[in-house]
Structure 1
Amino acid sequence: MDDLRKALFQDRRSIRSFESRQISSTDLHELCSAAQLAASAMNEQAWFFVIIQKEEVIKEIAVLATGIEESPYYNAPTVIVAFAKDDAIAPVEDCVLAMSNMMYAAVLNDLGTCWIHATKNVFNNPKYAALKKACGVPEGYTCVGSLAVGYPSGKLPEAKTRKQNVFSVIR
């Protein structure tokens, strides 16, 4: 259990440098399964995910998101865009829990992830509604964010110092 705990909580890092090789179908399936098993308010499972592995599409979305050629996805071969159902009980929270499960499943599969907030600039902009529709996103869903996913390039970054004194225990 200690090795699993270490892998899940101590080894998870935001990865900002990825190898170019695509993640395997098996690994992708593991991430998707982890997302589906996430906790959600009243078990609504109020999420929808778009998995993009086509390099040209990732680059196009990167430019739309930032307005510059430099990709916010750190050249990851896979980008998973998360959408939350607007009329759910706790849509954003449900989606974030599912994405967190994906991040921890990635660690167990020797993959790296990085939460990318800029994706919201594209998928929540009415100007790009056609792109959202082309990606198969149902009506009534809002983008929460995305994950850059791939095999980390190089050594894992060192853990940053964590804030202390962030808990108040009342007994």
Structure 2
Amino acid sequence: MLDLIKSRKSVRKYSEKHISDEDLRKILEAGRLAPSWMNVQSWKFILIKSEENKELLSKLSLGQAHVKNADALIVCVADVNAWEEAKITHIKNPGLNPALQGENGLLIRTMEQVIYPISYMMLEAESLGIKSCIIGAMGNEITGIEQDTYHEVKQKLGLGDGQILSTIITLGYEAEESMTTKIRKDFDDVISLEKLGSKF
């Protein structure tokens, strides 16, 4: 697994080779199986393959070309409504029930939860030789940009109130292998034992 994590990188140039539906299902299944707070699973995923929708989502993403040129996209939806649907209203402690943390607290918690399946799906894609990139620069309720396009996207993709397009994952086979070096902070810069700054 660690070798897989080390090999994974953001790829923005894709070949014309198509991803099989079988592999797309495997990637989506990895997301479906991700852990969540109290098993609420406050997310939805929409697979995008049509050129029309990719074009629209590229526009939403400030014209990023790899959104349009990817073989497939996964639209990741943060579903605030899931907390109410999960029937956890009997839990009265706000620390245990994000639905009691106020609108802002609930939004933050819901957006946080979507990170888990996103990571799972990208690693599953990597295991299949399929490259990916996370798109966060786009219009939605959080950024407040491209709102006309965002409303068009929400309507076209069937998103209702309380369902926020949080992220887009681009998927495809790499056009040509790049020599990109993964640069991360040193282990001791981010890992501590018992107290920040104390080496493990």
Fold agreement, TM-score > 0.5:
yes
Decide which of 36, 42, 45 is 1:46's aligned counterpart: 42
Decide which of 54, 79, 93 is 2:112's aligned counterpart: 93
Which amino acid letter does the alignment assign opposite residue 167 of structure 1? I
Determine the C-alpha separation between the residues in 2 that align with 1:45 and 1:157: 37
- The answer (yes or no) to whether the contact 1:31–1:102 under 8 Å persists in 2 is yes
- The answer (yes or no) to whether the contact 2:131–2:172 under 8 Å persists in 1 is yes
Query: How far did 1:41 drift?
Result: 0.6
Query: How far did 1:74 drift?
Result: 6.5
Determine the C-alpha separation between the residues in 1 that align with 2:60 and 2:122: 25
Match of 2:94 in 1: none
- The answer to whether the aligner puts 1:32 opposite 2:28 as a matched pair is yes
**Runs of 5+ unmatched residues, structure 1:** none
- The answer to whether the aligner puts 1:107 opposite 2:107 as a matched pair is no
For residues 16-47 of structure 1, the C-alpha deviation after alignment (integer angstroms, 9 at most, x for no partner) is 11112321101110011100111111111100
**Runs of 5+ unmatched residues, structure 2:** 84-97, 99-108, 196-200
Determine the C-alpha separation between the residues in 1 that align with 2:124 and 2:160: 26
Structure 1 residues 157 and 137: alpha-carbon distance in aligned structure 2, compared to 1, 3 A threshold: farther
Structure 1 residues 131 and 158: alpha-carbon distance in aligned structure 2, compared to 1, 3 A threshold: closer
- The answer (yes or no) to whether the contact 2:140–2:166 under 8 Å persists in 1 is no
Structure 1 residues 58 and 76: alpha-carbon distance in aligned structure 2, compared to 1, 3 A threshold: same
Partner SS state of residue 73, structure 1 = helix
Which amino acid letter does the alignment assign opposite residue 20 of structure 2? S
Structure 1 residues 22 and 139: alpha-carbon distance in aligned structure 2, compared to 1, 3 A threshold: farther
Structure 1 residues 114 and 13: alpha-carbon distance in aligned structure 2, compared to 1, 3 A threshold: same
Query: How far did 1:14 drift?
Result: 0.6
Decide which of 73, 82, 89 is 1:79's aligned counterpart: 73
Partner SS state of residue 54, structure 2 = helix
Query: Normalising by the residue count of structure 1, what TM-score does the alignment of the two structures yield?
Result: 0.84
- The answer (yes or no) to whether the contact 2:122–2:132 under 8 Å persists in 1 is yes
- The answer to whether the aligner puts 1:145 opposite 2:145 as a matched pair is no
Aligned pairs for 1:127-166 within 5 A:
127=148, 128-164=150-186, 165-166=189-190
Determine the C-alpha separation between the residues in 2 that align with 1:123 and 1:21: 34
Q: Which runs of 4+ in 1 moved over 6 A?
A: none
Query: Normalising by the residue count of structure 2, what TM-score does the alignment of the two structures yield?
Result: 0.73
- The answer (yes or no) to whether the contact 2:57–2:68 under 8 Å persists in 1 is no
